[in-house]
Structure 1
Amino acid sequence: MNPKTVKASKPPRLLLEGLFAFPPNREILGGTAYFILEKTGNILIDCPFLDEDNCSFLQQQGGVKWLVITHRGGIGQSVKDWQKRLDCEVVIQEQEAYLLPEVPVTTFETEIVLGDNITGIWTPGHSPGASCVYWNHHQGVLFTGRHLLPDNQGQITPLRLGKTFHWFRQLQSVAQLRDRFSSETLNYLCPGANTGFLRGKGLIDNAYQQLLTLDLEKLRQQPTRF
């Protein structure tokens, strides 16, 4: 299938040197995809809207080596088409690979290293194979899919949704990220949804300090949001 002739509403936005964010994609429930420029191979995180403008932009930047899917809701109907168009490697946590039966994929269990500065990290809870992607640039950037999202105040938090796979495992994954990083290694967070709550900033700074302030015990009692 050729890319759709409908144009995306806005071009990708430069957030930091080497990092772009695409407009929310209605095919994945308003999810935000990100594009990272790396010398060892460019990385696309989740699927932007499939149209000629987005395809041309990615090709002009040198193409995509890896397309990383952070959770089952980020798959959409265009993964197969993006893979063919970009001739890229699709990376997904092993528990959700079955959702892409017609796409050749590279799977991982707990972690995967892509190039020199990118690591995929399994963070189950939101979905069985939910993952985050860590970029070792700009004092550390973490792409969280729907594992951690901004609330209506722009503060990062896990959300207990109707589609949440396992809430307590999600909180355990948050604790593991908190223990893994520090203020020196985690500076920014790029969520895969709810980016409108960032009020134009496009990303969350001071990310590690926000992780530290999360009251995981209180969050255990958080009601489900539908």
Structure 2
Amino acid sequence: MQAPPPEPGRPPQLVLPGLWLFAPSRDTQGGSSWLLEAAHSGLAGDLLVDCPGYSQANLDWLRARPLGGTVVMTSREGHGRCRRLQEAIGWDVLVQEQEAYLLPGVSGLRRFGAESRLAPGVALLWTPGPTPGAAVLHVAGPTLNVLFCGRLLLPVGPGALAPLRTARTFHWPRQLRSLARLRRWLPEGSPHWIACGGGLGALRGQKLVAGGAALLAGLDLEEGLNVPAGPLGARREG
């Protein structure tokens, strides 16, 4: 049976110089996908973080990118229609090895383990918890210092992100341990911005969360180990 044509959709919007946000995708439960232009990462091509909706607007826009690029998956929740997108634009796909089996038949599929350094200042870290192969991407480029956190953190209010335990969470204690490891792994003072891969509605119109380093430092992960569900709040004073 012939696949239906893509819906019209709308192209991504520029959030910061070199950083684009795609419209929420029904293929990823309303998740968010991002594109970082090559000039702002030091790489030879763009970085597309998670799969945007398979729309004609997105396909046309991505095909027009002059340098091509790589699709980086932060978890199985962001796979969407990865195979169809890859066939349409021809970019490589980079996925944590625990979830590579979920992408059979995808050409140009590359895997990474605990960590992967794509270039100076561009690195991936395996952060299991939300899913078995969840990962984050940190880019400390010439002009931007941003952490693409996937769904390790989710919006809980304007300017606020926190780990959330949901019915889809793979392993809650591992998620909190991954956050603790992330804090040790990031360079001091990083990130300046956090770009979330989940739905952004709770941010009330905001796209990025500023002050990422302070936000991560303020999470009380020890207390969270005893929280059965819901968001982790900031560390209490006193």
Tell me the TM-score normalised to structure 1 length: 0.91
Instruction: Check conservation: 2:35, 2:46, Cα contact below 8 A.
Output: yes
- Matches of 2:45 and 2:6 in 1, distance apart? 28
Report deviation, 1:184.
Answer: 3.0
1:151-207 C-alpha deviation (Å, 9 max, x unpaired): 135411111111111111110111111122255331000001131112222100001
1:148 correspondence with 2:153? yes
- Partner residue, 2:183: 178
Report deviation, 1:11.
Answer: 2.7
Instruction: Check conservation: 1:24, 1:31, Cα contact below 8 A.
Output: yes
What are the within-5 Å matches in structure 2 for residues 154-193 of structure 1?
154-182=159-187, 184-193=189-198
Tell me the TM-score normalised to structure 2 length: 0.87
- What secondary structure, in the 3-state scheme, does the structure 1 residue paired with 2:213 have? helix
Going from structure 1 to structure 2, the CA distance change for 1:124 and 1:5 (only over 3 Å counts) comes to closer
- Partner residue, 2:112: 108
- Matches of 1:148 and 1:192 in 2, distance apart? 9
Pairs aligned (count): 223
Out of 47, 51, 54, the position equivalent to 1:50 is 54
Q: What is the aligned-residue RMSD (CA, Å)?
A: 1.9
Report deviation, 1:112.
Answer: 1.7
- What secondary structure, in the 3-state scheme, does the structure 2 residue paired with 1:221 have? coil
- Partner residue, 1:66: 70
Instruction: Check conservation: 1:3, 1:50, Cα contact below 8 A.
Output: no
Report deviation, 1:22.
Answer: 0.3
- Partner residue, 1:208: 213
Unaligned 5+ residue runs, structure 2? Answer: 231-238
Segment of structure 1 superposing worse, 41-50 or 112-121: 112-121
- Partner residue, 2:225: 220
Instruction: Check conservation: 2:25, 2:52, Cα contact below 8 A.
Output: yes
What percentage of residue pairs aligned between the two structures are identical?
36
Out of 124, 131, 145, the position equivalent to 2:128 is 124
Instruction: Check conservation: 1:97, 1:107, Cα contact below 8 A.
Output: yes
Going from structure 1 to structure 2, the CA distance change for 1:223 and 1:152 (only over 3 Å counts) comes to farther
- What secondary structure, in the 3-state scheme, does the structure 1 residue paired with 2:128 have? coil
Report deviation, 1:25.
Answer: 0.2
Segment of structure 1 superposing worse, 20-29 or 213-222: 213-222
- Matches of 1:178 and 1:97 in 2, distance apart? 26
1:4 correspondence with 2:2? no
Out of 101, 104, 113, the position equivalent to 1:98 is 101
